């Protein structure tokens, strides 16, 4: 078998519903690496949010911030930043209605207010703490992604007002990712594929969420977890078992990689 490039989402894909790494998944990743395949991560998280997972799995290539900050063998190869003027305008609009904003670069993230229940609830679902307060964090830094905290009923005014600058992806009842217009995991994956001069048919992806749809459509070798949202399942070429039911190992075996 020729060497493959395999990308895994984190939440709900590599990590189970309790944010734990199933033993079957860890074993499967090790087998892929021993076979000489290139194993990578594709996530909406920032690099600073999953160093322990990378170390545990021995992974040095990843697509973070939904494609906006891409690293190949520990070296950044692709960066896309948010429009700073539009981000400031978005923040000003959000402040008017008590909708918090979190600014994220490749090293850290900071909130524009000291505390908010929506931030606590959303970040808690990732088993991650409330970001520190620093409303000036976007000054003099490249911001690759932001988080906007509001309900689905409240989001449309932002989607309409900032349609030319940003894409919004809801990942929690109270939170959305704010991405540069046209940004996606697929864009980040393509940067790695181009750098490695690989073919799309040698690329495999595993995901479960709305932010995985573009990458699931990017290659014919795409696997949605059994716990995936309906749109992700429709975009994938195969639907595996639930992450809690050894879904990664099952999907890899179906695709002929194990």
Given the residues 9, 105, 202, 212, select the one marked as catalytic: 9
Whole-number Å distance between alpha carbons of 55 and 51: 6
Query: Counting Cβ atoms within 10 Å, is residue 98 exposed (0-12), middle (13-18) or buried (19+)?
Result: exposed
Q: Among this protein's residues, is 9 annotated catalytic? A: yes
C-alpha–C-alpha distance, residues 129 and 26, integer Å: 25
Rg, Å, the chain Cα set: 18
Residues serving a catalytic function are 9
């Amino acid at each position: 078998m020729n060497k493959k490039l395999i990308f895994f989402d984190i939440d709900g894909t590599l990590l189970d519903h309790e944010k734990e790494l199933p033993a079957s998944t860890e074993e499967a990743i090790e087998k892929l690496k021993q076979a000489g395949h290139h194993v990578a991560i594709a996530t909406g998280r920032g690099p600073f949010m999953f160093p322990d997972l990378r170390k545990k799995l021995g992974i040095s290539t990843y697509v973070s911030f939904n494609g906006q900050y891409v690293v190949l063998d520990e070296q950044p190869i692709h960066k896309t930043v948010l429009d700073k003027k539009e981000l400031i305008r978005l923040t000003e609009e959000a402040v008017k209605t008590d909708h918090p904003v979190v600014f994220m670069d490749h090293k850290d993230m900071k909130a524009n207010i000291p505390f908010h229940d929506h931030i606590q609830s959303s970040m808690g679902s990732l088993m991650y703490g409330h970001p520190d307060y620093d409303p000036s964090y976007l000054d003099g830094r490249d911001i690759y992604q932001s988080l906007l905290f509001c309900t689905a009923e409240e989001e449309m005014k932002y989607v309409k007002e900032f349609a030319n600058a940003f894409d919004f992806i809801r990942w929690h009842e109270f939170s959305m990712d704010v991405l540069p217009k046209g940004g996606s995991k697929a864009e980040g994956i393509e940067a790695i594929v181009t750098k490695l001069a690989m073919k799309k048919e040698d690329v495999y992806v595993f995901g479960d969420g709305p932010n995985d749809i573009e990458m699931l459509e990017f290659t014919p070798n795409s696997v949605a977890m059994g716990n995936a949202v309906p749109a992700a399942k429709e975009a994938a070429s195969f639907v595996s078992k639930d992450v809690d039911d050894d879904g990664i190992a099952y999907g890899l075996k179906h695709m002929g990689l194990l």
